């Protein structure tokens, strides 16, 4: 296994199981399909949000001087909140989630993360980032959710080219009455002004709309996840049996999908194809194999055409 950090999928089920594997209690992540304050209010208690976006210099670089494009750097906040510089390229998703979890004291983050937070409390953001990137627990848990890549040597880091799309995760969280943007690529936490838990949905929505507005019209490659209390506990408290059942079904589906993500089916597929080809060649020779391939292509084309016809009719 690689000693680095692998890419993981932006998925609520992945991130929920990831934080639970780190020892966090009573927390889940929920993907938001629209950017609306009412949708965020409905998720209360809302601890923070994770925003995924395409990184571009024009949309993320600072203004002239010492301020970011939106908000202002709060250097003093580094002494009272958890903020770490990002030192590893593929660690931004997990780091953004930790930026929410470790800044909300009401969350039970478990013994391992509690010890980690206490250990780095007196460090500056640079050293905190170094410590996080070298945490075996966090790295191994993060990597356990990466898809197997049997045809790529993970020890060889691919260099991103100028035409490659680069995506980045950051956190927005209300801490000590202030809405902070916590981005490990920024030199300091970014303050967006006063915010309580009650008005956080409105305040963060305004900030996100301004951020999205800096991109060209038509850009839709954004993703927003809310860090919230485990819905099962809330539904159990109010006796919502139907809602609890839906949550249990959702969790079961998350578990199934995460299990499949960890599996490498390349060997199985190879053996199946090898067996089918072997039987065809054994029975009909090379000519039979060519006919087998031709017939398969024709069947695939007919299925595609039929699907397109149904789509046009509907």
Provide the annotated active-site residues. 92, 168
Query: Which of 227, 254, 174 is closest to 51 using CA atoms?
Result: 227
* 211 contact partners, CB below 8 Å, separation of at least 6: 51, 53, 59, 70
Q: Which two tokens stand for residue 176?
A: 């000590």
How many whole angstroms separate alpha carbon 230 and alpha carbon 37? 20
What CA dihedral angle connects 90, 68, 126 and 22, to 10 degrees?
-50
Q: Which two tokens stand for residue 85?
A: 């510089």
What CA dihedral angle connects 64, 95, 123 and 67, to 10 degrees?
10
Tracing tokens 């013994």 back to the chain, one arrives at: 111
In the DSSP assignment, the letter for residue 63 is P
**What are the respective helix, strand and coil percentages of the chain, to the nearest 5?**
50, 15, 35
**CA-based radius of gyration for the chain:** 24
How many whole angstroms separate alpha carbon 220 and alpha carbon 266? 32
Query: Which of 69, 38, 35, 75 is closest to 52 using CA atoms?
Result: 35
How many whole angstroms separate alpha carbon 102 and alpha carbon 113? 8
Tracing tokens 């990597």 back to the chain, one arrives at: 143
């Amino acid at each position: 296994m690689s000693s680095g950090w692998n890419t993981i999928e932006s998925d609520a089920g992945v991130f929920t199981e990831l934080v639970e594997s780190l020892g966090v209690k009573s927390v889940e992540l929920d993907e938001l399909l629209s950017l609306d304050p009412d949708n965020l209010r409905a998720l209360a208690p809302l601890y923070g949000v994770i925003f995924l976006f395409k990184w571009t210099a024009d949309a993320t670089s600072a203004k002239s001087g010492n301020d970011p494009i939106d908000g202002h750097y709060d250097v003093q906040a580094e002494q009272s909140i958890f903020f770490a510089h990002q030192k590893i390229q593929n660690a931004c998703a997990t780091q953004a989630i930790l930026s929410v979890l470790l800044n909300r004291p009401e969350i039970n983050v478990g013994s391992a993360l509690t010890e980690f937070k206490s250990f780095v409390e007196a460090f500056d953001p640079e050293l905190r980032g170094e410590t996080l990137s070298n945490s075996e627990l966090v790295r191994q848990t993060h990597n356990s959710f990466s898809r197997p890549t049997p045809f790529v040597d993970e020890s060889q880091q691919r260099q991103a080219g100028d035409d490659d799309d680069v995506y980045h995760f950051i956190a927005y969280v209300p801490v000590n009455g202030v809405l902070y943007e916590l981005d490990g690529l920024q030199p300091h936490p970014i303050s967006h002004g006063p915010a309580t838990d009650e008005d956080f949905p409105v305040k963060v929505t305004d900030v996100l709309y301004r951020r999205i507005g800096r991109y060209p019209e038509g850009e839709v490659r954004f993703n927003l996840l809310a860090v919230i209390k485990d819905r099962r506990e809330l539904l159990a408290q109010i006796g919502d049996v139907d809602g609890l059942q839906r949550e249990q079904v959702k969790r079961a589906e998350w578990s199934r999908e995460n299990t499949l993500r960890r599996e490498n089916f390349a060997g199985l597929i190879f053996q199946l194809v090898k067996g089918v080809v072997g039987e065809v060649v054994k029975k009909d020779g090379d000519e039979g194999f060519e006919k087998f391939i031709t017939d398969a292509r024709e069947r695939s084309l007919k299925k595609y055409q039929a699907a397109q016809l149904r789509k046009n009719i509907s």
